[in-house]
Structure formats: C-alpha cells, structure tokens
Amino acid sequence: MRPYEFAAPRSLREALDRAGDGSAYLAGGTTLVDLMKLEVLTPSRVLDINRLPLHGITLDDQGLHIGALERMSDVTEHPLVRERYPVISRALDLSASQQLRNMASMGGNLLQRTRCGYFRDVSTPCNRREPGSGCAALDGVNRHHAILGTSDSCAATHPSDVAVALVALDTVLHLHGPEGARTVPLDTFYRLPGDTPHIENRLRPNELVTGFTVPPLGWATRSTYLKIRDRQSYDFALASAAVALHLRGGHIVAARVAAGGVGTRPWRLTGVEAALADRPATPATYQSATAHAADGARTLSGNAFKPELLRRTLVRALTSLGDAR
C-alpha cells in the first residue's frame, strides 16, 4: 500500500474543505481498503467520514430516509424497513457476510466498485481502472459479466444488491458537494460504460452521498429480492430480481421490477412492469410478461446462460409474491 495522509473531519464543511485532487472518503472501508492494498486505488489523502452526522432511519410523509453512514446490518434489521420495504431488507440480508454488513455503510455500498477480477488485478488491461488500456474480460473469464448495457469498452456488472431494490422503488439520492446540496434519482445516478467506463456515476468531484429517500409505496409490503449465485454462503449475483406487486382480487394493479447481476448498472425493467399491469396474478402472466426481459442482451463466451437465467429468476420472484391460480 502506498503512503497517504489521513484525517477524520468532524463536520461536512471540514470534510469538503479537506477534500481535493487525489483524496478519497472512507466509510466502512470494506471496498476502499481492499482496493488500496491491491494498488487499484492510490489516494494521497484518506478522509474518514465516520464522525459526520450522516445517520438515521426514519419514516414520514415523504418516505423512508436513510443516512449514508447507517450500517447495512442496522438497516436490514430495522423493523420499519422489514415491515414496509421487505425487498430492501431481503437484498441486504443476501449481501456479503454478517461481519461485512456490520462494518459496511449504505453510502459505501451504493458507491462500491465493480468486482470484475481484471479491474482488481493491476497486471491486466482494464479500461475502467486505466482508461484506454483495453478490456481483458471481453475475451477472458466473463461468467459474472453483464449482458445488458455493455459496450466494446467494458461489460462489468454493477455489484450492489440493495441498489437494485432501491432503483425498483424510485429512490432519490441526497448529495452534498462544494457547490451545495442536490438530489438525483438513483436510477439515473449510475452511468452506462460507453467508451468512458471509468466514469461510473454522476457524483461531482469531492461530493459526498449524505443519504437517500425511498418514496412512500404502501404496497411495497408485498415485495421481495431473489438472488441466484454460485454459492450460498456469500457471493455476488449471477442474476437477481427485486419485485413488488400491487394485487387486488387476484389481479395485478401495478408492479415494480428491477434486475441485478445482468446489467452494467442496476437494471429497471419498466417494460416488464407494463406487461404485468392489469393482468391476472398467475405464472402464465409472469412467463409472458418477462419473455422480453433480456431483449437486446449481448452475451460473452462465458455468460450465454444469463438471458434465460434472468427470465427464470424474474418468474420465480414474481410467483413467490402472488399466485392466484
């Protein structure tokens, strides 16, 4: 690991004043410290933000508010989250391990970097780590890689599970930077790789994530997250589905659907949502509504199974929420 300056600011103002070229914010450190040890990230200054007042899990008329420094384990265990938004607690329960969830923050989770093995190996070409160097994954080991939103420059999946649930719920991110506070819908926060995969999101230089708000959605009580992975102990998704169903008398009034493990960012499936609305809540509906979920997919040598896996994952998740046969 390279030498770096360290500071632990006590206020948002102090954090922003100390931030600059080459600085990095440290929350739980479960991504940042790993990448520093591998010399994938080499910040000259690390700003520990854990003393900042970015906590709180509250519910009001505007929805559910969660501070960026809330630990994943505290959010998943919170009764309000479990009762009102089970899709969030389920996605967190299936993320990483208990030890990691105790340490890792919600803000850090949303900003974690890709798990593409080549990104983490500085001896290989990777456009995301070193712009213009090439992409070792396109003709390499790519079982875990994306099939939606990829480009000739990068096909890395977005690794966060809870981001998939939050995108399905229309979550709004709260940011604070040198120019003040602003909000951005989480769905548009993440960028497609295009030919600049190293620019992953719309965060401005030195801007902090202070928290996020999940808008009210009464019927999110009927929601879940299904994650398919190679091993059950802990692993990243090969495919996952965040779904919520508004049912009335065996009929679907409305649906929310997003997928993980298949896209270069959390992948909202509005076409599937539209195809589910006003239809009977039956497996036949789920089959037909998800038939085109992977349209436009571009598979690689190792992940041709993903379009079918995505469709099956969606059908299983939807069936688990409502089957009016």
Residue 104: C-alpha distances to residues 52, 160, 172, 275 (Å): 15, 12, 20, 37
**Is residue 95 close enough to count as binding ligand FAD by CB under 6 A?**
yes
**Is residue 135 close enough to count as binding ligand SF4 by CB under 6 A?**
yes
Of the candidate spans 20-28, 57-65, 81-89, 184-192, the one that interacts with ligand FAD by CB under 6 A turns out to be 20-28
In the list ligand FAD, ligand SF4, none, the entry touching 254 (Cβ below 5 to 8 angstroms by class) is none
User: Are 192 and 217 within 8 A, CB to CB?
Assistant: no
**Is residue 119 close enough to count as binding ligand SF4 by CB under 6 A?**
yes
The C-alpha atoms of residue 275 and residue 293 are separated, in whole angstroms, by 10
308 closest CA partner among 297, 319, 321: 297
Query: CB neighbours (10 Å) of residue 145?
Result: 26
| Minimal distance, residue 84 CB to ligand SF4, in Å | 35
- Detail the DSSP E strand segments found in the chain: 5-7, 23-26, 45-48, 57-60, 63-67, 172-177, 180-185, 208-214, 223-228, 239-248, 251-260, 267-268
User: Are 152 and 197 within 8 A, CB to CB?
Assistant: no
In the list ligand FAD, ligand SF4, none, the entry touching 119 (Cβ below 5 to 8 angstroms by class) is ligand SF4
**Is residue 111 close enough to count as binding ligand FAD by CB under 6 A?**
yes
**Is residue 114 close enough to count as binding ligand SF4 by CB under 6 A?**
yes
Of the candidate spans 120-128, 158-166, 182-190, 316-324, the one that interacts with ligand FAD by CB under 6 A turns out to be 158-166
| Minimal distance, residue 173 CB to ligand FAD, in Å | 10
**Is residue 108 close enough to count as binding ligand FAD by CB under 6 A?**
yes
**Is residue 27 close enough to count as binding ligand FAD by CB under 6 A?**
yes
The C-alpha atoms of residue 305 and residue 161 are separated, in whole angstroms, by 20
**Is residue 197 close enough to count as binding ligand SF4 by CB under 6 A?**
yes
272 closest CA partner among 172, 166, 168, 148: 168
**Is residue 137 close enough to count as binding ligand SF4 by CB under 6 A?**
yes
| Minimal distance, residue 164 CB to ligand FAD, in Å | 9
Contact residues toward ligand SF4 (CB under 6 A) are: 114, 116, 118-119, 126-128, 135-137, 154-156, 197
